[in-house]
């Protein structure tokens, strides 16, 4: 025991009336929500980087947090892992996620860093034998170190491409070894600051080939998890190639990967792209590439990826409605890609941030499931498109031409009658469930 979370009990479900701060009011892992246990719907994961590696800095100041595991030695890295698994147990979360750089100290060379990483992955493997938390996904940090400042796969320097490929191989090996259910690629520096020094076409081709190599390697090692791309429009780069779900889909099509790669959609990234979270989820579902979600929220005034813990049930209900409508998460989960505010110094803050967020998601899921089960929203949607179920409409779509359609319009004296879109009525319906 590290003693870091001393005095904090394991969090249990006590129901909405509980006055205990260290309890769930809505998240009851075993409660059935339509066809599945709540835990199996939500599949919560803790993000190692925000909770254990981030020191609390912002662009104007450095570290605010004091953690006994901050430091560059393997002892520090093991202490960090001990504290992490203690927190997973306290929260009862089924999953966690990590980057290589979150978990191991950087060595003086690629080989030295790899050795550190492999030792920590072994350590995780041992811990996972006695703890229940599994790996939702692993990923590579190809953005923090200065060598990646001009990109990883999209770098003008082929040596950086090579370093990145070797790093991803190591992280895929680790993910595979730990039984990870997905492997994520977020292109932190895969974009540009200025078009004046950028060969956009070349960089995009490099990114496409890199992703093909990832998929080829996945099959060679027999990794059964899902490969996920995490779209984000900007920050840290001025423009990032994986802008949003639609852009990523076009990219996957271009490189023949649409059947191989899905998306990990983050709330804050959707907002930065000028979309809603539910739009990105619904679009990915309609394209058959919905994989997993990174749960957080942005400050709507700041224009940055502020990675706050979610606090709005109505907003998250929209997201879970789309997920449930799409048939739910399969290998994916709800990863809290969220960090404390830099003044939230205490171990309790770290625990309670997750407790509150898990409760928000649980309430959102339950509301969404009730609305879906009620069926009124889906009935109204089908009614709106009922005309398209008619054989003539189907024929027009299948085999119509502008000439044949035009002839029919003239001949039949057709005269479309506008009908209400009923938006406010549907909003009223929605609000009866959240």
Which one, of 218, 220, 204, lies nearest residue 137 by Cα? 218
Q: Contact with Ni ion (CB under 5 A): which of 100, 173, 266, 322?
A: 266
Which one, of 170, 54, 162, 76, lies nearest residue 121 by Cα? 170
**Counting contacts by CB under 6 A, is residue 297 touching ligand XLS?**
no
Q: In Å, how far from its chain's centre is CA 359?
A: 18
Nearer to ligand XLS by Cβ, of 185 and 352: the residue is: 185
Residues within window 29-68 making contact with ligand XLS, judged by CB under 6 A: none
Q: How does DSSP classify residue 65?
A: -
**Counting contacts by CB under 5 A, is residue 322 touching Ni ion?**
no
Q: Contact with ligand XLS (CB under 6 A): which of 232, 262, 297, 363?
A: 232
Q: Which does 227 bind (CB under 5 to 8 A by kind): ligand XLS, Ni ion, none?
A: none
**Counting contacts by CB under 5 A, is residue 102 touching Ni ion?**
no
- In the complex, the smallest distance separating the C-beta of residue 291 from Ni ion, rounded to whole angstroms, is 12
Q: Contact with ligand XLS (CB under 6 A): which of 28, 278, 294, 359?
A: 294
Residue 256 CB neighbours (<10 A)? 11
User: Contacts by 339-347 with C-beta closer than 8 Å and gap 24+?
Assistant: 339/50, 339/51, 339/54, 339/307, 339/308, 340/50, 340/56, 341/308, 342/56, 342/57, 342/58, 342/64, 342/65, 343/64, 345/56, 345/64, 345/65, 345/66, 347/4, 347/5, 347/8
- In the complex, the smallest distance separating the C-beta of residue 230 from Ni ion, rounded to whole angstroms, is 5
**Counting contacts by CB under 5 A, is residue 242 touching Ni ion?**
no
Cα 207 from Cα 161, distance rounded (Å):
9
**Counting contacts by CB under 6 A, is residue 186 touching ligand XLS?**
yes
Nearer to ligand XLS by Cβ, of 86 and 337: the residue is: 337
**Counting contacts by CB under 5 A, is residue 305 touching Ni ion?**
yes
Backbone angles phi, psi at 350, to 5 degrees: -65, -45
Residues within window 323-342 making contact with Ni ion, judged by CB under 5 A: 337
- In the complex, the smallest distance separating the C-beta of residue 141 from ligand XLS, rounded to whole angstroms, is 7
- In the complex, the smallest distance separating the C-beta of residue 268 from Ni ion, rounded to whole angstroms, is 5
User: Contacts by 231-235 with C-beta closer than 8 Å and gap 24+?
Assistant: 231/263, 231/265, 231/266, 231/269, 231/273, 231/280, 232/186, 232/187, 232/266, 232/269, 232/272, 232/273, 232/305, 233/269, 233/272, 233/273, 233/274, 234/191, 234/272, 235/272, 235/304, 235/305
- In the complex, the smallest distance separating the C-beta of residue 26 from ligand XLS, rounded to whole angstroms, is 25
Nearest-CB residue for ligand XLS: 186
Is there a contact between 282 and 322 (Cβ–Cβ < 8 Å)?
Answer: yes
**Counting contacts by CB under 6 A, is residue 230 touching ligand XLS?**
yes
Interior angle at CA 302, CA 296 and CA 306, nearest 5: 30
Q: Contact with ligand XLS (CB under 6 A): which of 218, 337, 359, 434?
A: 337
Cα 278 from Cα 327, distance rounded (Å):
15
Q: Which does 139 bind (CB under 5 to 8 A by kind): ligand XLS, Ni ion, none?
A: ligand XLS
Instruction: Compute the residue count for the chain.
Output: 434
Please tell me whether the peptide bond between 236 and the residue prior to it is cis, using omega within 30 degrees of 0: yes
Nearer to ligand XLS by Cβ, of 230 and 244: the residue is: 230
Nearer to ligand XLS by Cβ, of 184 and 357: the residue is: 184
- In the complex, the smallest distance separating the C-beta of residue 342 from ligand XLS, rounded to whole angstroms, is 17
**Counting contacts by CB under 6 A, is residue 280 touching ligand XLS?**
no
Nearer to Ni ion by Cβ, of 294 and 322: the residue is: 294
**Counting contacts by CB under 6 A, is residue 305 touching ligand XLS?**
yes
Binding site for Ni ion (CB under 5 A): 266, 294, 305, 337
Interface contacts to ligand XLS, rule CB under 6 A: 99, 139, 184, 186, 230, 232, 266, 294, 305, 337
């Amino acid at each position: 025991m590290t003693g870091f979370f001393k005095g904090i009990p394991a969090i249990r479900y006590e129901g909405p009336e509980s006055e205990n701060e260290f309890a769930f009011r809505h998240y009851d892992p075993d409660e059935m929500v339509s066809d599945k246990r709540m835990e199996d719907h939500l599949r919560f994961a803790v993000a190692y980087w925000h909770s254990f590696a981030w020191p609390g800095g912002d662009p104007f100041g450095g570290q605010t947090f004091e953690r006994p595991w901050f430091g560059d030695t393997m002892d520090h890295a093991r202490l960090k892992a001990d504290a992490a698994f203690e927190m997973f147990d306290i929260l009862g979360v089924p999953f966690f996620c990590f980057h290589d750089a979150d978990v191991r100290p950087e060595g003086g060379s690629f080989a030295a860093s790899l050795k550190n990483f492999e030792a920590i992955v072994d350590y995780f493997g041992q811990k996972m034998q006695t703890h229940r938390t599994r790996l939702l996904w692993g990923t590579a940090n190809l953005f923090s170190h200065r060598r990646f400042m001009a990109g990883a796969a999209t770098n003008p320097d082929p040596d950086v491409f090579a370093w990145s490929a070797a790093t991803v191989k190591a992280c895929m090996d680790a993910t595979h070894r730990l039984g990870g259910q997905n492997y994520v690629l977020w292109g932190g520096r895969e974009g540009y600051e200025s078009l004046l020094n950028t060969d956009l076409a070349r960089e995009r081709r490099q990114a496409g080939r890199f992703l093909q190599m990832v998929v080829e390697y996945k099959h060679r090692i027999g990794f059964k998890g899902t490969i996920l791309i995490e779209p984000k429009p900007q920050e840290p780069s001025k423009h990032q190639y994986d802008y949003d779900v639609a852009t990523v889909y076009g990219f996957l099509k271009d490189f023949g990967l649409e059947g191989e790669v899905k998306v990990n959609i983050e709330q804050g990234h959707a907002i930065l792209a000028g979309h809603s979270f539910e739009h990105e989820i619904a679009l990915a579902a309609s394209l058959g590439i919905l994989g997993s979600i990174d749960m957080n929220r942005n400050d709507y005034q700041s224009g940055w990826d502020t990675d706050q813990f979610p606090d709005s049930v109505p907003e998250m209900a929209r997201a879970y409605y789309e997920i449930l409508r799409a048939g739910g998460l399969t290998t994916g989960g709800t990863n809290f890609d969220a960090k404390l505010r830099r003044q939230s110094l205490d171990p309790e803050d770290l625990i309670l941030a997750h407790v509150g967020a898990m409760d928000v998601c649980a309430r959102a899921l339950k509301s969404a499931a009730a609305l879906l089960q009620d069926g009124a929203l889906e009935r109204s949607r089908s009614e709106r498109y009922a005309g398209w179920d008619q054989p003539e409409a189907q024929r027009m779509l299948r085999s119509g031409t502008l000439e044949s359609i035009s002839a029919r319009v003239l001949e039949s004296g057709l005269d479309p009658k506008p009908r209400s879109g009923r938006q406010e009525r549907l909003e009223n319906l929605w609000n009866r469930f959240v």
